Amino acid sequence: MTTMMTLPADIRYVRLASLAALKIAEIFTECINSKTGNEDFCHAFELAVSEAFTNSVLHAEPCEIEKTITISYCSNSHNLTTTVSDTNPPFAIVTPSLNISSYPEQGYGLFMIHQLMDTVSYTREDGFNRISMTKQYHMKEGNNP
Amino acid sequence: MIISEKLCNDITVISIKGTIDAKTAPELKKFDSASAADSPVVIDLSDVDFLDSSGLGALVGIARIKRDHGGNVTLACMNNKVRKVFEITQVYKLFDIYDDVEAATLNAVKK
Amino acid sequence: MKALIIIKEQDYTWIREVLPHVHPLLVPICNKPFAEFLIDFSILAGCEAIRFVSDGPLSDVEHYCNDGGRWGTAVSYSSIQSTDELQQVINKNQRYCSDEKIIVISGLIFIHYNKQKDYKKLFAALPEGEILSCNCGSLSLSGAPLEGQKAIVSDVALSLTGLDSINVYYRLSMEVLGYASSPYVLPGYSNEAYVSIGSNVIITKGAEIIKPVIIGNNVQILSGSVIGPDAVIGNNVIVDRDSTVSASIVMDNTYIGEHLAVTNRIATENILIEPESGASMAMEDPHLLTGIKKIRSAETIIQSLVHGLMALILISLQLIPFLLLSPILTLQGKWKWYNNTSYTTISGKNLTLTTATLERNGLISTLAGALSLDRFPLLFRVLSGQLSIIGGGTVVTNSNPVTDLRSAPSRIRAGVFSYAEAEDWPLTGGDSAIVERYYAVHGNPFQDIIMTVKALFNRILEKNTP
């Protein structure tokens, strides 16, 4: 399954992007496990896409041409991958660390993406920044009899 | 996002309803509470259905400003989604978190 | 009634140091996470809801316990500060506690209970206050007893063990293991006393199990091994041939090698711990690699220079024999050339390589094979930087899917000769993959020279070129 949506690079659309991620994750989990969805799994995508979309919007260079952000989803039987692409200038993605004792107001976004998702990768291809985030879906195991 | 303010046990309670994300967080940061800078405030998050890092940053910013002026911020009634964001980032260590607004205001009175 | 389980980071700091790979609340006691014992006890005591409260992270616990649906109870989570006392904790969970009677389990304590006994009525009738305490915590009640019921603390047939050291953890595990009919619900299938075995367990012929023993899921016990007495084998464990594990705990995801005797120890991943003293030893198998770091550009340059130099030397030595022998062998039909598209991780792209197969069934062909003349065309690829003189094997893309190779660590460079040839191992399969990865981490240009010479020497003894 692959699906894609393109949105204007405007902060007003961040909630649309995150809600779409939530719904797609819910559909995915229901396909995998018809009994119940998985709240944690779906919330992880809702948050991760919100963070990645926000990053793309905030780091866009102001220009006259309306920019867009593309969010695509790809899945197999074990995991769901979302890729957020934009046409911003390239940036160096570093493994973030947080020092909360200094009451930071920023810098949580990338940190959270790394905590929420199993794999995070960044590529720069054909003028696009692409952040791919993959999370494996774990079927809940019951206790041994 | 809708922000409202009321008094409970003489403590200002700021209730937030809706989503706190990159779009709405600036509104929260700009919110001008009627409470004095050095007085405690309880933020009621019971009606917050989604909070991301922007919302987290806004709350941390409010807490920092309050504490710089001798006040304090207590959080109350987080749902699971909101609590997880605080847990992932360990920002829960910066706040006293209650599951009941009244208990939070009583604690703020004691302090 | 509800349960409030309060565990602070300071209570379990020692677990983080000794057993860093598991959340302290999920540390297994006879393959059952510690938190589950608390949940089981709370349910036996009549609690309809359980809340874990900590000043540390609870995400792992939450991931494991979820909402408690698995146990038919409601499990929730909450954060506190490290300085919060009991009353402050209850205040912070006021809505949860409401007017109900609350069993408060505070500290890292193991409650010795019996699943056969009914604790509901007992706890309903007990007065408010502390019931039991030990050095690490306490069991107490908040809220008045139910009307018409009365019980006293001495009626409580329970005891506590404070989990404050690895030795206590070890002794507790052995104690829990030692029950013929366990007072606790333990994982696994138990057809006879003192034995519990999980699912997908392979016990090969010649292995021996001496009870009491508990074995987890996805375990392999290979021939000649002796497990027990007093052995706890976790999940995803392999005990290799002719090893013994007795009076020991082998934790999840641990490999016990061949011909080892593990006695009075706790084995966790690559660490062996002596419970009594707390001393631990980390074991490193250089063939088991956790990751291959990117090499620095200076090392790449030196490596390229050395490989280029070796290629030049081999070209100069092989040029005349190649020019003399290859036409003869081609005419004889013993020398067949192929153009194959192979994947190399140097450039991340496909290469078209001209390779040859040689039948070593005559003097000339044997001589050509011994001199490795079939590899001569590939030497020029080393000079152009597309191949190494020695590295991993090239894999032909048009015969096998390359998806696995594309995820191979980037440091495994395809070579004219392979490390597997140098070590005289099979050229395909797991063994060659291990050798390649080993030298990708531990190799250096000087070693590559030695390995190339070894590969050349081994080829002299080969019967047919691969």
State whether residue B58 sits within 8 Å of chain A by CB.
yes
Question: What six digits make up the tokens of C448?
Answer: 């590559």
Residue of B nearest to C96 (CA): B99
Distance from CA of A6 to the nearest CA of C (A): 29
Beta carbons of A46 and B50 less than 8 Å apart: yes
pLDDT of residue C397: 47
Q: Which chains neighbour C (Cβ–Cβ under 8 Å, 3 or more pairs)?
A: A, B
Residue of A nearest to C217 (CA): A144
Residue of B nearest to A12 (CA): B23
N-terminal to C-terminal alpha carbon distance within chain C? 73
The residue whose two tokens read 């013994």 is: C244
pLDDT of residue A141: 43
A13 vs A67: CA distance, rounded Å = 13
Beta carbons of C78 and B88 less than 8 Å apart: no
Which domains can be identified in chain A, with CATH numbers?
Answer: 2-136 (3.30.565.10)
Q: Is residue C287 part of a domain?
A: no
- Other residues' Cβ atoms within 10 Å of the Cβ of residue C452: 25
Beta carbons of A143 and C187 less than 8 Å apart: yes
Q: Is residue C185 part of a domain?
A: no
Beta carbons of A144 and C189 less than 8 Å apart: yes
Q: Which of A14, A12, A1, A35 is nearest to A84 (CA)?
A: A14
Question: Where are chain B's structural domains?
Answer: 2-27+37-110
C38 and C153 co-located in one domain: yes
The CATH number of the domain where C124 resides is what? 3.90.550.10
Question: What six digits make up the tokens of C162?
Answer: 């404070």
pLDDT of residue A51: 93
pLDDT (mean) for B15-36: 84
Neighbour-count burial of C463, counting CB atoms closer than 10 A to its CB (0-12 exposed, 13-18 middle, 19+ buried): exposed
Q: From the candidates B98, B105, B106, which should be mutated to test the interface with C, based on the most C CB atoms within 10 A?
A: B98
Q: Is residue C440 part of a domain?
A: yes
Q: Which residues of A touch B64 (CB under 8 A)?
A: 103, 105
C263 and C375 co-located in one domain: no
Residue of B nearest to C91 (CA): B103
Higher pLDDT, C413 or A80: A80
φ/ψ (deg, to 5) at C29: -115, 110
pLDDT of residue A140: 56
State whether residue A12 sits within 8 Å of chain C by CB.
no
Cα atoms in the Cβ-side hemisphere of radius 13 Å centred on C254: 26
Helix (H, G, I), strand (E, B) or coil at C398: coil
Question: What six digits make up the tokens of A3?
Answer: 């699906």
pLDDT of residue A124: 85
Report the helix count and the strand count for chain A, using DSSP H and E.
3, 5
pLDDT of residue A143: 35
Beta carbons of C189 and A140 less than 8 Å apart: no
Q: Which residues of A touch C63 (CB under 8 A)?
A: 40
Q: Is residue C224 part of a domain?
A: yes
Q: Is residue C40 part of a domain?
A: yes
Q: From the candidates A111, A118, A144, which should be mutated to test the interface with C, based on the most C CB atoms within 10 A?
A: A144
C244 and C309 co-located in one domain: no
Asked if the model's pLDDT at residue B92 lies above 70, the reply is yes
Q: Which of C291, C285, C292, C293 is nearest to C269 (CA)?
A: C285
Beta carbons of A144 and C66 less than 8 Å apart: no
Beta carbons of B107 and C96 less than 8 Å apart: no
For chain B, give the mean pLDDT.
88
- pTM higher than 0.80, yes or no? no
Q: Which residues of C touch B106 (CB under 8 A)?
A: 91
* Domain span including residue C205: 195-282
Distance from CA of A105 to the nearest CA of B (A): 4
The answer to whether the CB of C175 falls within 8 A of the CB of C29 is no
Question: What six digits make up the tokens of A137?
Answer: 């879906």
C304 and C278 co-located in one domain: no
State whether residue C66 sits within 8 Å of chain A by CB.
yes
C348 and C379 co-located in one domain: yes
Distance from CA of B109 to the nearest CA of A (A): 24
Distance from CA of A136 to the nearest CA of C (A): 14
pLDDT of residue C351: 67
Q: Which residues of A touch C185 (CB under 8 A)?
A: 143
Q: Is residue C29 part of a domain?
A: yes
Residue of B nearest to C63 (CA): B84
C265 and C303 co-located in one domain: no
CATH classification code of B2-27+37-110: 3.30.750.24
Q: Which whole-number Å values give the CA distances from A67 to A6, A91, A93, in the listed order?
A: 10, 17, 21
Write the residue in B84, B97, B99 that is nearest to C96 by C-beta.
B99
Q: Which residues of A touch C199 (CB under 8 A)?
A: 144
Asked if the model's pLDDT at residue B80 lies above 70, the reply is yes
Beta carbons of C189 and A145 less than 8 Å apart: yes
Q: Is residue C182 part of a domain?
A: no
Q: What is the pLDDT confidence band of residue A117, given thresholds at 50, 70 and 90?
A: very high
Distance from CA of A118 to the nearest CA of B (A): 14
Contacts 24+ apart (CB under 8 A), C260-267: C266/C166, C266/C170
C271 and C307 co-located in one domain: no
Q: From the candidates A10, A13, A15, A16, which should be mutated to test the interface with B, based on the most B CB atoms within 10 A?
A: A15
State whether residue C336 sits within 8 Å of chain A by CB.
no
Asked if the model's pLDDT at residue B60 lies above 50, the reply is yes
C7 and C149 co-located in one domain: yes
pLDDT of residue C348: 55
Q: What is the pLDDT confidence band of residue B108, given thresholds at 50, 70 and 90?
A: confident
State whether residue C463 sits within 8 Å of chain B by CB.
no
A5 vs A71: CA distance, rounded Å = 5
Q: Which of C318, C410, C398, C300 is nearest to C351 (CA)?
A: C398
Distance from CA of B100 to the nearest CA of C (A): 5
C224 vs C237: CA distance, rounded Å = 16
C136 and C201 co-located in one domain: no
CA-based max dimension of chain B: 36
Chain B positions contacting chain C at CB under 8 Å are: 77, 83-84, 86-88, 90, 92-93, 96-100, 102-103, 106-107
Q: Among A26-35, A47-56, A116-125, which range has the highest average pLDDT?
A: A47-56
Q: Is residue C447 part of a domain?
A: yes
Residue of B nearest to A19 (CA): B50
Beta carbons of A109 and B88 less than 8 Å apart: no
Q: Tell me the pLDDT of chain C (466 aa) as tens digits.
A: 999 999 999 999 999 888 888 899 999 999 999 999 999 999 999 999 999 999 999 989 998 998 898 899 999 999 999 999 998 999 999 999 988 889 999 999 999 999 888 888 888 888 888 888 998 899 999 876 666 566 666 666 788 999 999 999 999 999 999 887 788 989 988 888 889 999 999 999 999 999 999 999 999 999 999 998 999 999 999 999 999 999 999 999 999 988 999 999 999 988 899 999 888 888 776 665 555 555 556 667 888 889 899 999 999 999 999 999 888 888 888 777 776 666 555 555 666 777 777 777 788 888 888 888 888 888 998 888 888 888 876 555 444 434 344 444 455 678 888 888 888 877 766 677 777 777 777 778 888 899 999 999 988 877 544 4
The answer to whether the CB of A111 falls within 8 A of the CB of A96 is yes
Q: What is the pLDDT confidence band of residue A93, given thresholds at 50, 70 and 90?
A: low
The residue whose two tokens read 């030893």 is: C281
Distance from CA of C26 to the nearest CA of B (A): 18
Write the residue in C58, C92, C94 that is nearest to B96 by C-beta.
C92
C364 and C258 co-located in one domain: no
Q: Which residues of B touch C91 (CB under 8 A)?
A: 98, 103, 106-107
C250 vs C260: CA distance, rounded Å = 13
Q: Which of B103, B78, B100 is nearest to B91 (CA)?
A: B78
CB–CB contacts below 8 A, A to B: 72
C384 and C446 co-located in one domain: yes
Write the residue in A14, A51, A106 that is nearest to B23 by C-beta.
A14
B65 vs B41: CA distance, rounded Å = 12
